[in-house]
Amino acid sequence: MHSSKVSEPSGPTSRGGAGSETGATTGTGSASGATTSSSTGTGTGKIPLVGLLAFASGCVDVVSLIALGGAFTSVVTGNLIFVGRAIGTGTATPAVHAVLAVAGYVLGVAAGSRLGHGFAHWGPSGEWPGRATVVLAAECAVLAAVNAAWFAYHGRPPARATDVLLVGAALALGAQGAALRSVAGTPSTTFMTGALTTLVEALFTGRRRHVDPAAVVGLPALVGGAVCGAVLAEHVRGLALLPPLLAVLAVVVFRLRRHPAELREAHGTSGS
C-alpha cells in the first residue's frame, strides 16, 4: 500500500529527544507516524518499551552517581559541566570520572551505530527496525558483564575496577542511544530534556493532541528507574544494576518475538 511506503523512515532519524522533532526532521509528521504504526502492527506497543529503556537509563545513572565516581553514564552535558567546573576551580573530582563516562558513552554510540549499520537489512524495517533490537541485545551483553563484576565486588569495587565499570555502564547506555536513533518517532531514553521541552510546549500552546505519549511515559519511567537504583544502592547494593539489565532484556525478548509476525505482515503488504 502507498501509506506504508510514505511512513517508513529512509534511515536513522535525527532527533533532539522528542517525537515531534523527529517528525519535522524526517518529514513524516504525526499522521505518517500513525500510518507506520498500523503497517508494522506494533502501534502503541513501543510506548512501554520506551518506558522500560528510560527506566534502565535512570537506574544506571543514579548508581553511577552514588557508587561509580559521581559521574553520569548518559547525561553527557552534565559530565561536561563537571569538567568545566574542574577546570575553573582546579579540582579534579569528579572531572576524571566524568571524562571516563563521556569516553565510554561516545564509544557506545560509535559501536552501536556501526553494529546497527551492519544489520541494516536484518529483520523488519518498519517503525521498530531489526537493527535496533540487535544493538539493544549488545547493550544487554555489556550490562550483563557489568553486573557480573559489580556483584562479584558486592557493589563496592576498588578504584581501578570502578573506572572500568563506569566506562562499561556508559558504553551500554551509549549503545542504547544509538539503537533508538533508528526507531521512528521515539524520544531518546538516555537524555530526555528535549522530550520534556516538547511536552511542556505542547501543553502550554494548546496542542495537547501533539503530545508524544512515549515522552509522557518515558519521563516518569526515568525518575522511577532513578528511585529504584537509589534504593537498591543504599540497601541491597550488589543488586543495584540488575533491574536495568532485566528491563533492556525484556525489550529485546519482546521485539524478537514480534519480528516474525512483522516480517510476514510486511511481505503481505508489499505483495498486495
In tens, the pLDDT along 74-127 reads 999 899 999 999 999 888 878 999 999 999 999 999 999 999 999 988 877 777
Q: End-to-end alpha-carbon separation of the chain, Å?
A: 7
> Grid coordinates standing for 92?
579534579
pLDDT band at 269 (very low <50, low <70, confident <90, very high): low
How many of the other CB atoms lie within 10 Å of CB of 119? 15
Give how far the C-alpha of residue 103 lies from the chain's centroid of Cα atoms, to the nearest Å. Answer: 17
What is the domain partition of the chain in residue ranges? 45-258
The CATH classification number of 45-258 equals: 1.20.1250
How many of the other CB atoms lie within 10 Å of CB of 52? 23
> Grid coordinates standing for 185?
518517532
pTM: predicted TM-score of the whole model, two decimal places? 0.79
Compute CA distances 45 → 49, 87, 255, whole Å.
Answer: 7, 45, 10
pLDDT at 1: 42
Nearest to 125 by CA among 229, 185, 40, 238: 40
Q: Which residue has the higher pLDDT, 253 or 45?
A: 253
Compute CA distances 260 → 120, 125, 131, 218, whole Å.
Answer: 16, 12, 14, 27
Between CA 114 and CA 119 the distance in angstroms is 9
